[in-house]
Amino acid sequence: MQRDTLIFDLINKELERQRHGIELIASENFTSLQVMEAMGSVMTNKYAEGYPGKRYYGGCEIVDQSEQLAIDRLKQIFNINYANVQPHSGAQANAAVLLAILQPGDPILGLDLSMGGHLTHGSPVNFSGKLYQPHFYGVKKEDGLIDYDMLETKAKEIKPKVIIVGASAYSRDWEYERIRKVADDVGALVMADIAHPAGLIAKGLLNSPFDHCHIVTSTTHKTLRGPRGGIIMMKSDFENPFGQKDPKGNVRMMSNLLDLAVFPGTQGGPLEHIIAAKAISFGEILSDEFTNYAKQVISNAQAMAAAFVEKNYQIISGGTDNHLMLIDLRNKNISGKKAEQVLVKADITANKNMVPFDDKSAFVTSGVRFGVPAITTRGMKEENMRFVVDSVDKVLSNADDEKIIMNVKNDINAFMKQFPLYPELR
């Protein structure tokens, strides 16, 4: 077969783009070479519908072992009793959980997308808002923190079957215990989507949801620094409280419902090459090196937030407990859309983001979200955050001056040479 130089040229260009620039998208990271090696391995050739030891195809003895290792290592990371490593993504993990628990039309309560939530937490343009009956809580206008009183009032009013905890653009920790009390009062289950802070929770640097939330989902490629994918976890199994029975009339356990909701409920064959890569990244997370990484993520985020505050940037909630921050740019007279566009010209990648109570649409937005997981993997420390913030500020303050932006870009390209990315790759 002829080598597809067209695509490999593009892959090389993407490698160079990643090497030259400052990656501030809060949900991105750089996996290890061994994780990428597993993703490009022969495991991709294997069909393995089912679960280890219970497959619908022959020849699964080897993938059974690597999937079991992924499950066992994930259980060890979070000290839990149930893990499903097959979801292809965080959205697939959330789809499976909701399918396992709910009937079409059942009420759910999640954080509003425009307040930092996620599409799969009930947005009307997503399956979660189309199949179920979505309701939302938000953050408080005065301090940008989760409005737990509002959550409680709404929960009592609508009696959701699931309360969804978690966010894509919220820089503070969560009061899981408080939410569980509300859920118990109204007869709801709590699902925590920890896709963003999972790597920090894994190392005990943020509150753990596992003692208070019935089911926990995550992606594996953000702060967990693994391959792109999803996972579902529970500290302990429990009987499904909403009455689904098995064919013999027995109440089904939640682990059984979750496994069935992933396969055959929402997915077909698992991606065994990705699952092998997940297993490798979970092994990496168990190391002391990852503990240092997670601590550095938080230190870098706090140093970055302090540098932005010094330059009069308005961080929602005033700072960060985790790896990201959401900045309201209205006092800087630039929209999130324009900020994203001009930053890219200087090889700084970030994403526009709505801020709470935004007066602009999701396509324009008043805000921008910055995160440090990727630049921390590149090796940056607290003392480098000032250069990053100065560069961002120079671009946003001179958004129509191509010459200044090109100077910033040249400085960034030179600066990033100190932090080699995949030097083993040509």
Q: Which residue has the tokens 């309560």?
A: 109
Task: Find residue 133's DSSP bridge partners.
Answer: 107
Determine whether 228 is an active site residue.
yes
Member of 84, 168, 171, 366 binding ligand DSN (CB under 6 A)? 168
Sign of torsion, CA 191 230 225 18? negative
Determine whether 365 is an active site residue.
no
Rounded CA-CA distance 41/266 in Å is 25
Using the minimum distance from each CB to ligand DSN, give the nearer residue, 116 or 209.
116
Pairing of strands 189-193, 215-219: parallel
Residues listed for the chain: 426
Member of 23, 24, 27, 376 binding ligand DSN (CB under 6 A)? 27
Rounded CA-CA distance 120/17 in Å is 30
Determine whether 49 is an active site residue.
yes
Distance in Å, CB of 242 to ligand DSN, minimum: 27
Contacts with 55 (C-beta within 8 Å, 6 or more apart), sequence order? 48, 49, 64
Distance in Å, CB of 323 to ligand DSN, minimum: 11
Give the x-and-dash track for 95-134 against ligand DSN (CB under 6 A). Answer: -----------------------x----------------
Query: Counting Cβ atoms within 10 Å, is residue 286 exposed (0-12), middle (13-18) or buried (19+)?
Result: middle
**Does residue 320 touch ligand DSN according to CB under 6 A?**
no
Helix (H) or strand (E) holding 125: none
Using the minimum distance from each CB to ligand DSN, give the nearer residue, 118 or 203.
118
Report which of 128, 143, 188, 198 is spatially closest to residue 167, judged by C-alpha positions: 198
**Does residue 217 touch ligand DSN according to CB under 6 A?**
no
Distance in Å, CB of 90 to ligand DSN, minimum: 6
Using the minimum distance from each CB to ligand DSN, give the nearer residue, 146 or 326.
326
Using the minimum distance from each CB to ligand DSN, give the nearer residue, 27 or 240.
27
**Does residue 171 touch ligand DSN according to CB under 6 A?**
no
* CA atoms in the 13 A half-sphere facing the CB of 208: 12
Using CB under 6 A as the criterion, which residues of the chain lie in contact with ligand DSN when the complex forms? 27, 90, 118, 168
Annotated catalytic residues are 47, 49, 193, 219, 222, 228
